Structure formats: C-alpha cells, structure tokens
Amino acid sequence: NNVPVLPCFITMEDSDVLDDDGFFVQEYTIHVAEPIYPDPQKPKDVNVREMMQKNFDVWKRIYEDTYGIALEYAGKVM
C-alpha cells in the first residue's frame, strides 16, 4: 500500500456566544496538513513507523501552535 497519510486535527476555542447554560459555544477548526508519503525505498514496516511518527509530530505542532502550551500526557511532555 503505497499511499500517503493526510494529517487532520481538530482544535476547539471558545466563541463570544454564551449558550443557555452560561457556557461559551465552542468553535471548531479543522486543520488539514500536507500529505506524508511513504519512502518507496524502505520496507513497509519502517514506513509505517516513520509515517506514524511524522503524523504525530504534525498533530503536536498544530496543538502547541493553537493552544500555546506543550502537549502533555499524564504529566509527561511529549
């Protein structure tokens, strides 16, 4: 399967509109990044790992650029 990965990531921000419960209505932004292509010179398992990491790196950059904070999972900065 020599197909690209298309990184997509959704972020949320408060709007200026309050809902009936007094909370700000969320606005969603869909981020579609550049495709990540496999290297035809590498075996499939290597491409899978590398493309997964590149995809994660794109998601991380979008998250950190949007929210202005480091991405953390269970207190561990990624």
Q: In this predicted model, what pLDDT tens digit does every residue of 11-30 receive, in sequence order?
A: 999 999 999 999 999 999 99
Q: Quote the domain boundaries for residue 25.
A: 8-77
In a domain, 64, yes or no: yes
Q: What is the pLDDT of residue 74?
A: 76
In a domain, 44, yes or no: yes
In a domain, 72, yes or no: yes
The whole-model pTM stands at: 0.84
- What's the average model confidence in pLDDT over 41-65? 96
- What's the average model confidence in pLDDT over 58-76? 91
In a domain, 39, yes or no: yes
Asked whether 33 and 58 are in contact (CB, 8 A), the reply is: yes
Residue type, 50: E
In a domain, 3, yes or no: no
* Overall number of domains in the chain: 1
Asked whether 13 and 27 are in contact (CB, 8 A), the reply is: yes
Q: What is the pLDDT of residue 77?
A: 72
